[in-house]
Amino acid sequence: MSGCCARRVRWPSSLGAIGLGCNAIRPGLRAGAVAVLGGSFLLSLRVGGLDVPMVATVVGAIATQTGLRAWCEGLRLQGDNAGTPPLLGIPPRHEALAHLLVPTALYAGCVAIAGGTAYLALGVSAVAGLWPLALTGVLLGVALVGAFRGLAPMPIFQPDLGVPALIAWSSAPGVTALIAMAILTERARTALAGAAGAGSNTLLLTMTATLLMLSWGLGRQQRQTDAHRG
């Protein structure tokens, strides 16, 4: 009887997506954690006003982006299989968002650890220590864009364009996110230094960048899904 009852239990499809996401990130779990811990630590130091060069912002932004995207293998698998019948029986948009839950939780945990270390060991403010959390939306947006990139546009394969154009096309999302993260981090550093009006401007810029990157990523996901429908 207990076995019969057990066979009738069906987990919600969204939980299935989360479970698949957990399995997908296992290969890059450690490398991603190291990258996010190191990157968010550098960003916290820079925003906290410590005497670290601006290159720390660039390195920190690259590391955090690389680390979080290493945890998004489930999202990339969904992008590679766009247009096929949904494995879990939920809409593609919901599946994509479910694939982002575990990476987001891991990212938040790593930021808390790195920020707490910077706070306790080097005396940066709590706001500076947790600053990388404000970049979460930008990072999730670029992860979506990368996962649902699709095929390169045909003009790129023209003989007069070649490899440089392909490199530019493939790196554009990451470079865009890097520039946004660098600008926001430097603005946050200025705001915490006490510049007049910098705090509200930084908040507005962060919200704008988050909305733009998420809209870009979700729009790309929708276009890829629609393009593969019969």
pTM value?
Answer: 0.84
Angstrom distance (rounded) from CA 89 to CA 73: 19
**So what's the pLDDT on residue 14?**
46
DSSP 3-state assignment of 104?
helix
Pair of tokens at residue 92:
């593609």
Sign of the four-CA dihedral 222, 214, 79, 152: positive
Are the C-beta atoms of 209 and 184 separated by less than 8 Å? yes
Are the C-beta atoms of 213 and 141 separated by less than 8 Å? yes
Cα-to-chain-centroid distance, residue 111:
13
DSSP for residue 91: -
**So what's the pLDDT on residue 174?**
95
DSSP 3-state assignment of 151?
coil
Residue 133: partners with Cβ closer than 8 Å, 6 or more residues away: 108, 111
Burial grade of 186 (CB within 10 A; 0-12, 13-18, 19 or more)? middle
Are the C-beta atoms of 188 and 125 separated by less than 8 Å? no
Per-residue pLDDT of the chain (230 residues; tens, 9 = 90+): 444 444 443 434 444 455 555 555 566 788 999 999 999 999 999 999 999 999 999 999 999 999 999 999 889 988 888 777 766 678 889 999 999 999 999 999 999 999 999 999 999 999 999 999 999 999 999 999 999 987 766 666 667 666 777 788 789 999 999 999 999 999 999 999 987 778 899 999 999 999 999 999 999 999 888 876 65
Pair of tokens at residue 198:
């910098």
The length of the chain in residues reads 230
Residue 53: partners with Cβ closer than 8 Å, 6 or more residues away: none
